[in-house]
Chains A and B, each alone.
Chain A
Amino acid sequence: MRHEIRFSGFGGQGIILAAVILGRAAVMYDNKYAVQTQVYGPEARGGASMSAVIIDDEPILYPKVVTPDIYVIMSQEGFEKYGIAAAGEAQMLVDSTLVHSRPSCRYIEIPATREARESLGRDIVANIIMLGALVASTGIVSRTAIEKAILDSVPKGTESLNVKAMTRGFELAEEAMSR
């Protein structure tokens, strides 16, 4: 089953890294196929940044995202540029600290940037909170896989901070879904 996941936010939030980690989790630890792409341009430095991952049990032929079924949106501009047209059957995770609009599809609110800042002391791990929440709410990859892929990808010395962020993401998603 082909899943298309689109991430959007602003340059510097780790939008591309989040997609790379998700793809890595799928390929290296869940033995699936994945293709990761991104909008590669000057707008990635500050403006709306977008990256995407396709995950499938079979080899992926056409490598571009056509109709995302899962969105992870981390800025208002990112929502307006890359999230607003989400199909009705899609699901979206929004960073409710930074995204004011809400889509017409199913969505859950994750206050990732606020949590990163207030509970973990570092805005920069908001993307990892969103990744945790994504995996908790969709099961797109296993928890073990995403944790291993996060540990592969983050700088030395930040491992426990990032695992905490991921765990917090799981908790926030579970809270949001039980509401």
Chain B
Amino acid sequence: MQGNTACAEGALAAGCRFFGGYPITPSTEVAEHMALRLPKMGGVFIQMEDEIASIAAVIGASWTGAKAMTATSGPGFSLMMENIGYAVMTETPCVIVNVQRGGPSTGQPTLSAQGDMLQCRFGSHGDYSVIALSPASVQEMFDLTVEAFNLAERFRIPVFLMADEIIGHMRERLIIPDHVPTNQRKPYEPGSLPFRAGEDLVPGFPAFGKGYGVHVTGLTHDERGYPCATSPKLHEDLVKRLVGKVEGARGSITSCDILNPDAEMVFVSYGAPSRTVQQVLHDHPDENIGHLRLKMVWPFAEMFLSRFTNAEAFIVPEQNLGQISREIERHTDKDVVTVPKLGGDLHSPGELYAVVEDLK
């Protein structure tokens, strides 16, 4: 199965019943497959007039209680930025798939990139925190899409599946499990206030049509949901809760693969370049090369860097000019070697092994 199709199947298995989107290469097959499958499952597929409307439709659908998603690529992702902030502020669970292509602007529509990794973290205005997952196989296009929905429901946030053209368009074996674990957003408890949160900092969700009157606004709001945009304390408490509900859970949600933790040379990768790193480790089994593969890129799992106790250098191949490598630099005093790659090609195993050789 193709990666993009596996993503759509993962969404359906996770319980997604609404897709609002605008087709864009190289993500189109996600929309195509959802258009084919959703109506037969009692779901709704809408092709909107653009990506601004698409994310707005997704947010609206989510407020009816539906699990909702969209899929796009760079130019569409940029258009979605304002409403992504709205989803954060209104605590709307949703999944946004970005099958990345070469940018800036319309760039290279048909070729692979990872240039939106900082945009997904910081692209909307204001302070916030989100979750971004990065699949490195067709299987993970399925598995991590399920995971994205589960995390979105749990934390009431937009969750990003930051794929790339290579993984989105390749076909390989996919095993769909008989049982896919899913969860639902915690329901609102009558008598509480709609934006009052308990210890987990996530309020219960009062879906439209369930009999509650709820005011939903992007303005700074109190626990009733009413705007109150002039109180410094209210604003600070709200934004800190929105950030805190994700950052506070980092220990329990971050997900990665660690290989050869006693190695001196350690690759850190996510998405398609991970496949090259895996090949390098496979081809040089006696060299003790380490690998930290991030399945969840945001929040960033700096605690895993220190698991490589002998590390002398972290080598970071990315299909950009060095985005996550900056984050690594922030968290370690070891050497951080960026291996940037633009233009759409995947790093070759020889190219990455040469970096290890150079560092010896």
Binding site for B on A (CB under 8 A): 20, 23, 27, 33-38, 40-42, 60-64, 66
Contacts and interface: CB of A to CB of B under 8 A. Distances in A.
A63 B170 contact: yes
A40 B348 contact: no
A161 B104 CA distance: 47
A41 B275 CA distance: 23
Given A40-B26, A62-B275, A35 B170 contact: yes
B346 A64 contact: yes
A40 B165 contact: yes
A158 to B, nearest CB: 21
Nearest to A32: B173
7 contacts: A34-B173, A37-B170, A40-B165, A61-B275, A61-B282, A62-B275, A63-B275
B110 A35 contact: no
Given A61-B275, A61-B282, A62-B279, A35 B172 contact: yes
A41 B110 CA distance: 6
A63 B274 CA distance: 10
B41 to A, nearest CB: 23
Contacts of B282: 61
A60 B171 CA distance: 12
B278 A37 contact: no
Report the 3 A-B pairs with minimum CB-CB distance, sorted nearest first.
A62-B279, A36-B171, A61-B279
Interface centre among A34, A42, A63 (most CB of B within 10 A): A63
Contacts of B173: 27, 33-34
A61 B348 CA distance: 11
B169 A61 contact: no
Interface string B20-35: 0000001000000000
Interface in B142-165: 165
A62 B169 CA distance: 15
B172 A27 contact: yes
Nearest to A66: B348
Nearest to B137: A63
B166 interface: yes
Given A40-B165, A61-B278, A62-B275, A23 B171 contact: yes
Nearest to A39: B110
Contact of A37 (B26, B169, B276): B169
Given A61-B275, A62-B276, A63-B275, A40 B110 contact: yes
B137 to A, nearest CB: 9
Contact of B169 (A23, A27, A34, A40): A40
B43 interface: no
Given A36-B172, A62-B275, A62-B349, 11 more contacts: A27-B173, A33-B173, A34-B172, A36-B170, A37-B166, A40-B165, A41-B110, A60-B172, A61-B276, A62-B346, A64-B346
Contacts of A37: 166, 169-171
Interface in B253-297: 272, 275-276, 278-279, 282
Contacts of A66: 348
Contacts of A60: 172
